[in-house]
Every structure is written in structure tokens, then in C-alpha cells.
Structure 1
Amino acid sequence: MSTLNAASATPAAPNDREQGSVFMPRFDSAGLVTAVAVDRTSGRLLMLAHMNAEAIARTRETGFAHFWSRSRGALWMKGETSGHVLRVAEIRVDCDQDALELRVDAAGPACHTLAPACFYRRLTTDGSLERVPD
């Protein structure tokens, strides 16, 4: 299977994806890429989610983070009901374009539990979870 350059629909050379300047997300078999949202100012990891082509397009069009919900099987905008939106300042792409880093300004807690970030617990040596101080 050849890789197509999204801009020109021509086969891309193997190094184009890893070293070129064309955005060519490498979607998995479900049509998704992993995306992490990171606070633009502090660098804190806020959340992890997945994006399909439509979520990426909507994020780029609106400036607000959109994701694909695997559990609901639907596109959603982060904060669409809570108001805790993520305004995207920058999208970074990893070396092989199968993961995205969204540098964001968060309007409230990033986690649906109302924790500031989804990564609010750590695994202890005895195997239990403990809350990490904010």
C-alpha cells in the first residue's frame, strides 16, 4: 500500500512523512491518531484522546479541540456541554505522524471528573492509586 501525500494525492517517499513538510497523519486501522492536550503555559499534560480526520479538520477550522469518542462513536468538541473548552494555540506532530500534541489554553478543568488534568492519580509501589497534589 503506498502512502499518499494529502496535498497532491501522489505517492510520498518514505522520508516525506518523517522529515518532510507535508502534514500526512498516519491513522490506525480505526482511522484514529492519538492526541495529547498539553497546557500551553505550564507544559502540564492535561488529557489524552483520539482524533480522526474530521476531528483534526474541525479543530483546525474552529481553533477548539475536537476529538473522536471511541465509546460513543461520535465526534465531540471538548467542553461542548461543560464550557471547559480547549483553545488550541498550536498542533505539533510526532516524528512518524501517528500522534499529535495540542498545545492549549484550557477554560477550566480538562478532566470530566473536574480534576485540572486527567492524570491526577499515580500508581504506588503497593499497586494502589493515590491522588497527586495539584
Structure 2
Amino acid sequence: MNREGSLRFDEKGLIPAVIQDAFSQQVLMLGWMNREALELTRSTGLVHFWSRSRRRLWKKGETSGNLMQVVEISVDCDRDALLVRVLRKGPACHTGMVTCFHNPMDEENENHAIS
């Protein structure tokens, strides 16, 4: 059954997708999907995103080779966010780190960012 129509995309037609390693359960990254990116992700079994800065579709790993194979896609209770469990090939972050979440927030230096 295709329940994609009942998802709650934002006003720009996007939905956040939290990417999680299927084995370690580690959160790898956060990306944004539009309907086409989600459809490609589901049909190919490889993670695709909508790039908000480049304003185009992209397949995760298309240049680096660090592809992500989909194991499962779950929808949160409000139907406005996705959890995509993946098998990854290589690091998730463009910096070469396994996860994009490798920078602990330093409260002393980052209070200005919290409003």
C-alpha cells in the first residue's frame, strides 16, 4: 500500500529524513526529501535527497561512492519526519567521519546560537 500521500511535507514540499545505521543504530545524518527523492529511494533501494542549496536531487554517495542501501523506512507519529535505516558503504559525512553528528555542542561557545 502506498501511504506516501498521507505524509506531511512542509510548505516547500520537503520532509526531514533521519538516516540511521541499521546495525549500530547510530544516527548518521539528516537530509531532506521531496516526493521525487522519496520515490527514487523506495524504487531503487538507495538513499536520495533533495539538496536545498543546489536545488536538485542527489543520490547519497553519487560522487564519493559512499552509497546507502535502504533496509527500512519508518514514519514518525505526526507523519512529518522519516527514519531511514541503512546499510552504509563508507562514511556518511562529507568530512570523512562516520556520522555527521561528530561535533559536541560547547555550551560556553554556542549559547549565541540558541534563541
TM-score with structure 1 setting the length: 0.77
Matched, 1:53 2:35: yes
Q: Which has the larger radius of gyration?
A: 1
Matched, 1:25 2:20: no
User: How far apart, in 2, do the equivalents of 1:75 and 1:114 lie?
Assistant: 22
Shift of 1:125: 3.5
Amino acid at match of 2:80: D
User: How far apart, in 1, do the equivalents of 2:74 and 2:109 lie?
Assistant: 34
- Name the structure with the higher helix share: 2
Amino acid at match of 2:83: E
Shift of 1:96: 1.5
- One of 77, 83, 86 as aligned partner of 2:68: 86
Amino acid at match of 1:77: K
User: How far apart, in 2, do the equivalents of 1:127 and 1:100 lie?
Assistant: 31
TM-score with structure 2 setting the length: 0.90
- One of 3, 6, 17 as aligned partner of 1:35: 17
Unaligned runs of 5+ in 2: 111-115
Unaligned runs of 5+ in 1: 1-5, 8-21, 129-134
Matched, 1:95 2:88: no
Q: Secondary structure at the match of 1:123?
A: coil
- Partner residue, 2:89: 107
User: How far apart, in 2, do the equivalents of 1:28 and 1:48 lie?
Assistant: 15
The list of structure 1 runs, each at least 4 consecutive aligned residues, that deviate by more than 4 angstroms after superposition, is none
Q: Secondary structure at the match of 2:109?
A: coil
Tell me the percent identity. 50
